[in-house]
Amino acid sequence: MAGSDEVNVNESKSVVPLNTYVLISNFKLAYNLLRRPDGTFNRELDDFLDRKVPANAIPVNGVFSFDHVDRTTGLLNRVYLAAPENEARWGIIDLEKPLSTTEVVPVIIFFHGGSFTHSTASTAIYDTLCRRFVNICKVAVVSVNYRRSPEYRYPCAYDDGWAALKWVKSRPWLQSGKDSKVYVYLAGDSSGGNIVHHVAVQAADAGVEVLGNILLHALFGGQKRTESEMRLDGKYFVRVPDRDWYWRAFLPEGEDRDHPACNPFGPRGRSLEGLKFPKSLVVVAGLDLLQDWQLAYAEGLAKYGHEVKLLHLKEATIGFYFLPNNDHFYRLMEEINEFVHSNC
Amino acid sequence: MKREHHHLYPQTDPSTSASAAAGKSKMWDEDGCGGGGDDELLAVLGYKVRSSDMAEVAQKLEQLEEVMFSAQEDGLSHLASETVHYNPSDLSSWLESMLSEFNPLPPPPGGFGGGPLSVPVAAAPPRPQPVGDPFLPRAESSSITTVDFGADQRMQSSCGRSSQMNEPRPEIGSSGIVFDEESSSDYDLKAIPGKAVFGRAQAQAQAQTRTRLASTSSSSTSSSAVTAKRFKSSPSDAAVGAAPESSRPVVLVDSQENGVRLVHALMACADAVQQDNLSIAEALVKQIGFLAISQAGAMRKVATFFAEALARRIYRVYPQNPPLDHSLTDALQMHFYETCPYLKFAHFTANQAILEAFEGKSRVHVIDFSMNQGLQWPALMQALALRPGGPPTFRLTGIGPPAPDNSDRLQEVGWKLAQLAETIHVEFEYRGFVANSLADLDASILELRPSDAEAVAVNSVFELHKLLARPGAIEKVLGVVRQVRPAIVTVVEQEANHNGPVFVDRFNESLHYYSTLFDSLEGCASTQDKAMSEVYLGKQICNVVACEGADRVERHETLAQWRVRLGGAGFVPAHLGSNAFKQASMLLALFAGGDGYRVEENGGCLTLGWHTRPLIATSAWRLGGPSAGAAH
């Protein structure tokens, strides 16, 4: 047993920079401590270990942020905006003007990952990522602090996503362009990617316009074991049994992985034919054991007649976008940049 | 590889939040900065790993994975529930401490740096304690019996030596950390079910625990957000203090357009005051008055206090300092104590650190710089009383300001505590010292005893910042603390920079700070308690905004700044661990005031805040040895 683990360890170590290896291995280790075999979760230790940062209304390297809380629901969104040109306005939150009256400034509603269980909008890896989105992709970002499992199972995360979408759409200060509207894209990694899909479906059903979906190695699955799951199990930071645990923690008790939340195009899935569904950028990491599900998702969208761009980064592992120390990171940013600005 | 992309990206990494003063520009380097410093890419994500240690840390991760794999479930559950974790940002130390639980080896020569208190002496996870205390009579209704609290003979009883509960001997783990989880104390928080699913079962269990704890305590506290470790202060002389940081965590609750307009008007008014445009300032202050009325809740009250403070500045009607009426201040603080968790959290977390430091000591002495009504000490005394092996003799030195009516408040408080000590059979000695300022103290006054005979804790809750009003005062006091040779120094301070050199910056920082603080009070049920708490905080606002020089005593500084000061004075961090965090979080969850409170871990310190904004920070310190400078 120890022998095969050693092989696995060396494999992941050889495909990512050392500091990335340390970062993701650390998460893997910490998360192993937190999941209990009986399906419960050590939330206090998770909170203790999670590295968080507060928002900062004073711009740092061109980006500032602030948090908004809905008092009745407790839902928190963290808003990231480009710093005002006028330095005298730094630190002052102006909610009276739109983002622009001439240009379109896309607003990305971001759902952080963590398999529905870990991380928050304040978690440093995600705060950092959102800041990079603003700076590199010239967008505004709203990061949603959705409720997590196992304390809050399906559909809580989706409900929070939907609430966030409605909130964002109704903020005058997130409007842009000559037609003064909020140009919304949904983005998310891991469980966040899964949330993107489901919120987009809800939006399409309700006639709420979402201009595009960005799914970063999204969490999808199903009862059957795909070839990539079997081939890559335990090789690049992720194990299949761990994935199962998180689905058991998120899905309603007693449900299996063919539940449509997990497997939207599976046996219990729903047809998206004829639905006014946004275009999608589906990003797949070639060393992610879930890639078969993500590839199937992209195919499913195409089958229903929806626009899909597949970005298959064959040598990327999960979490490649946390550190800007590899080609995949830059490729991703270029693609997102193009994706959100091509409509204007 | 990535150089071809450079045309798209700015030179600096937009994610870093190094202070504007430092203004570093990061290179796109595969391994971070390379060389002897911390890996900058990881630092931004909250992890401190020296680039030169990266390979070793990777190795530790691998070792730990292997060991955990072989140990199987028992090992994992042990690490998750029994082990006390410290400072997860310091990956190397954190991994090392977990590894040492599996492989009992002596710690590496460098030690654990600013590591856990329990190294190398075994320290029991502190027993959870009730933070409010029914034994301590409320200030208004005290009945003082004459107790000779200096004579210890009567105090001592046989009960002191025997434990009241049947507890198994604590097991000493291989790393010296004592595992005491079998304890069947009434305060055993493990009885709160670990079931993560919040269903009726959880609510019921919580209700049961609530009832059980309610018989001894009625308080709970909330937690605060973590201040990013990346807020680096520029290197500066500790005597001068740390450079102010450029950070403003803003939490808007139900963003209302008027609320934001009001904030702008206040900021514009402060700006006008700073520019000495008093006629404009005056006009704005009046406008603020109108805007404030149309606001609801916290924003209205905050705006009113800030507007009043600005008006005082404009009309040069400065508030008197120190306040005349101590009984009013006491009452206000008591209401603040009851209304919201901040003081309780402060006391609770400080007591945790003190308890750990007092482990195994038979004579202990607490020097309290923030005596006030002694609210912190009943809980500590009770915890000491319940120690396996019996309580130590407990000496308390309380320091406080003189009362203008010459009443002996300090002695009264001491008497009440002595009463408590008698009922719980703790040998108790008390001395009260009146001082206008902590800087008036000398070590010789404190009647210290040899440190091998008596372990000393120095405790300061919201007091140190006041010393920044006079040059040299903080240095003197920290020097006296060093002379005391304390086993532990506990410091609780507001997590904010209200001491910057520029008035407008101070104003804006405090505006956002107190807005968040007032927001957190909104959930409070009792309107009277809430009103009194607001007045209590309003006095602070007035002092920050309307006073200057020696009168301006509310000179709050951030944890990062205090780290520089205390580090510079020769203290090293004594980290608060996951046990204290967990207990504080759980007590908070019982607090009826609102779900918004958050405890967070910040580099070995704990903060309490409202949603994502840290508001107060507890840190613990001990004397650095010869290699103090090498500690993290």
Task: Provide mean pLDDT across the span B590-618.
Answer: 90
Average pLDDT, chain A: 95
Q: pTM value?
A: 0.83
Chain A, nearest residue to B19 by Cα: A60
Q: Which of B28, B248, B586 sits opposite A324 (nearest CB)?
A: B28
Minimum mean pLDDT among A49-63, A202-216, B101-115: which range?
A: B101-115
Structure token digits, residue B305 = 């206090």
Mean pLDDT of the residues in chain B: 76
CB contact under 8 A, A136 and B77: no
Pick from A244-248, B307-311, B525-529: least confident: B525-529
Band of residue A331 on the pLDDT scale cut at 50, 70, 90: very high
β-strand A76-82 against A140-145: which pairing, if any?
A: antiparallel
A180 near B CB under 8 A: no
Which of B2, B7, B15, B231 best probes binding to A when mutated, by most A CB atoms within 10 angstroms? B15
Of A235, A236, A255, nearest to A244 by C-alpha is A255
Q: Which of A112, A128, A246 would you mutate first to test chain B, the one with the most B CBs within 10 A?
A: A128
Out of B14, B508, B599, closest to residue A132 by CB: B14
Asked if A174 and A168 count as a contact pair (C-beta separation under 8 A), the reply is yes
Are the beta carbons of A23 and B47 separated by less than 8 Å? Answer: yes
Give the 3-state secondary structure of residue B61: helix
pLDDT tops 80 at residue B57: yes
Predicted pLDDT at B230: 33
Residues of B in Cβ contact (< 8 Å) with A40 = 194-197
pLDDT at A72 over 80: yes
Higher pLDDT residue, B54 or B627?
A: B54
Tell me the C-alpha distance between A81 and A84, whole Å. Answer: 9
CA distance B88 to chain A (A): 6
Residues of A acting as catalytic residues: 190
For residue B429, name the pLDDT band (cuts at 50, 70, 90): very high
Q: Spell out which residues of chain B touch residue A21, defining contact as CB-CB under 8 Å.
A: 58
> Chain A residues with CB inside 8 Å of B599's CB?
47
Assign B22 a pLDDT band (cuts: 50, 70, 90). Answer: very low
Whether the per-residue pLDDT at A172 is higher than 90: the answer is yes
* A29/B582 CB distance under 8 A: no
Whether chain B has a CB inside 8 Å of the CB on A9: the answer is yes
pLDDT in tens, B92-140: 999 999 999 877 655 555 544 444 443 333 334 444 444 344 333 333 3
Q: From chain B, pick out residues whose CB is under 8 angstroms from the CB of A324.
A: 2, 13, 28, 41
Domains of chain A, residue spans = 21-82+99-342
In chain A, the percentage of residues whose pLDDT exceeds 90 is: 92
Most confident of B22-36, B164-178, B450-464: B450-464
Own/partner pairs, B622-628, CB within 8 angstroms, 24+ separation: B622/B117, B622/B357, B622/B486, B622/B487, B622/B488, B622/B489, B622/B571, B622/B572, B622/B574, B623/B482, B623/B485, B623/B486, B623/B570, B623/B571, B623/B572, B624/B570, B624/B571, B624/B572, B628/B570, B628/B571, B628/B572
Position B221 scores a pLDDT of: 31
pLDDT digits (tens, 9 = 90+) for B221-251: 333 333 333 333 333 333 344 455 578 999 9
Rounded to two decimals, the ipTM of the complex is 0.95
Burial of B277 from C-beta contacts in 10 A (0-12 / 13-18 / 19+): middle
Partner residue opposite A48 with nearest CB, options B194, B581, B586: B581
Interface test with A, best of B250, B518, B601 (most A CBs within 10 A): B250
Tell me which H or E stretch contains B579. Answer: helix B578-590
What is the spatial distance between Cα A160 and Cα A146, in angstroms, rounded to a whole number? 6
Tell me if B88 and A48 make a contact (CB, 8 A cut-off).
Answer: yes
Residues in chain B closer than 8 A to A235 (CB atoms) = none
Q: Given an 8 Å threshold on Cβ–Cβ distance, is A324 in contact with B41?
A: yes
Instruction: Report pLDDT for B170.
Output: 37
Looking at chain A, which residue has its C-alpha nearest residue B49? A19
CA of A83 vs chain B CAs: smallest distance (Å): 11
Of B9, B57, B65, the CB nearest to A22: B57
- Are A67 and B598 in contact by the 8 Å Cβ rule? The answer is no
pLDDT digits (tens, 9 = 90+) for B135-168: 333 333 322 222 233 333 333 333 333 333 333 3
The pLDDT score that the predictor gives to residue B243 is 53
Greater confidence (A336 vs B27) lies with A336
The number of C-beta contacts closer than 8 angstroms across A and B is 264
Work out the average pLDDT over B255-262.
75
Mean predicted confidence (pLDDT) in A46-74: 95
For A21-82+99-342, CATH gives 3.40.50.1820
Whether the pLDDT of residue B181 is over 80: the answer is no
Which of chain B's residues have a Cβ under 8 Å away from the Cβ of A32? 68, 76
* DSSP three-state, residue B524: coil
- Higher-pLDDT residue of A197, B589: A197
Give dist(CA B269, CA B307) in Å, integer: 9
- Which is more confidently placed, A238 or B130? A238
Angle between helices B503-521 and B257-274 (to 10 degrees): 150
Nearest-neighbour CA in chain B from A26: distance (Å): 7
- The pLDDT score that the predictor gives to residue B128 is 42
Of the residues B3, B16, B17, B200, the best mutation for testing chain A's interface (the one with the most A CB atoms within 10 Å of its CB) is B17
Average pLDDT over every residue of A43-52 = 96
B382-424 residue pLDDT tens: 999 999 989 999 999 999 988 777 678 889 999 999 999 999 9
